[in-house]
Chains A and B, each alone.
Chain A
Amino acid sequence: MSKRRVIPGFGLSLGFTLCYLSLLILIPLAALFLKAAGLGWQEWWRLLGSARVLAAARLTFGASACAAALSAILGLPVTWVLVRYRFPGRRLMDAMIDLPFALPTAVAGITLTTIYAPNGWVGAWLLKLGIKGAYSPVGVFIALTFIGFPFVVRTLQPVLEDFAKDTEEAAATLGAGRWLTVRRVVFPMMVPALITGFTLAFARALGEYGSVIFISGNLPMKTEILPLLIVSQLEQFNVPAAAVIASAMLVVSFMLLLSINLLQRWLDWQKS
């Protein structure tokens, strides 16, 4: 880098950033990996291969994937309406989308539990259909859908806003009906954003704790998610098990973060 730095503060701002980042984030996370790595591979496999961990992993990954998928399905019409139509209450609806970001997860947890409990507003109604809402895997799925929903809408929204209508006009000029245009022209353009939104919602859902633990019922082997399992291992002073499960989850999260970065690049490339 031959260009002289004109603007002052390089050393100070970078030094401060690196110190702060290392002390607060990097060193603590490294300590977790070191702690877990100190146990050796065999212990890792034994801990991660236990029936309880596998059951929790199945529920966490399964419910997160289903919830992210439902968020994507529900997010599509909502984003479409927010971007393309003008109607009374649109601004309010737009502002409401961020509610799951802003509402503390514990509050979301107790409210969703109350609504979906067997005697709750929706829970009673679900029960008539033979579905148990709260205190079942369905409850976990509901809470995670609530948490993941804004990720999909907020990823789709800018893409749909930037989408030039010329392409749609061209399709219409060429004789395509509206539905054909949407299906063949608009929808394919939204796929990258949809996948990104899904991945963001999925990544967030995997680590989610506060909104899930109230509604899930927390039965080992049945409705216990991985973050809760970490907490319960810690409460039983089984620190090695907590560290190993946490490290394994972190590895998955980092891989997801990496793929989100790549997806984001795909989106930026699509824009230009």
Chain B
Amino acid sequence: MMKYLALFRIRFSNSLQYRAAAAAGMVTQFAWGFMEIFAFRAFYRANPSAFPMEFSQVASYIWIQQAFLAIFMVWFYENEIFEAISNGAIAYELVRPMDLYNRWFAQSVANRMARAILRSLPILLVACLVPPPLRISLPASGLQFALFSLSFFLSLGVVVAYTMIVYVITFFTLSPVGIRIIAAMLADFLAGAILPLPFFPDRARAVAELLPFAAMQNMPLRIYTGHISGVEALGGIGLQVFWFMVLLLLGRLMMKRALQKVVVQGG
């Protein structure tokens, strides 16, 4: 455990080095959040009765999403890992006394957390200060918040487990950039990154909710806003646990096969 903590510390202080990048990231995400909310406001005005969530829920959804972008979005890949695979540096990784899957998993989690911690607080703070329809609202109850927290970490797990599979596919195919982009964009779309799932047409939504991507940002964000609560939330969290396990197992299995291949080919 200590070594994972050390990993996290390094990543965190690394990300602190880039203060201007952090500041710029915050400004970007903040502006992005505003624009998203304004767009939804226009649609809300066009026809309030067709709006599938409450407007304040959408505002909260977007603020939390922007604040924790680095946690939720698949496309924050670890470029180091892609490079290690394509330039053969992976050979070094294999001689270290750490399980490669765990190491990469931990590294991804650490990097995402490090990025998010630095950026989330100021964004959330400002989101609390803007005038009401745009303002972020707090979860309805302490229980709701607890459920959100749980779901939040599970979604991080699901996202990272999914990216692990993308890395392993890179092993097999030395996959061109395109595949990574497609893998990230489809996942993020189906996770509700562009449009929350309630805005999907019924059939598309029914399908999307069954996919593992719904266990990504969709779940914690909707629990936070109160769009999903109580027993339904518990069920959702159960589904997240299920997908997390499946992706984790699948990733480990694929990694094992991939490493065998590396060893056989002599890396």
Q: Do A and B bind each other?
A: no
A residues lining the B interface (CB < 8 Å)? none
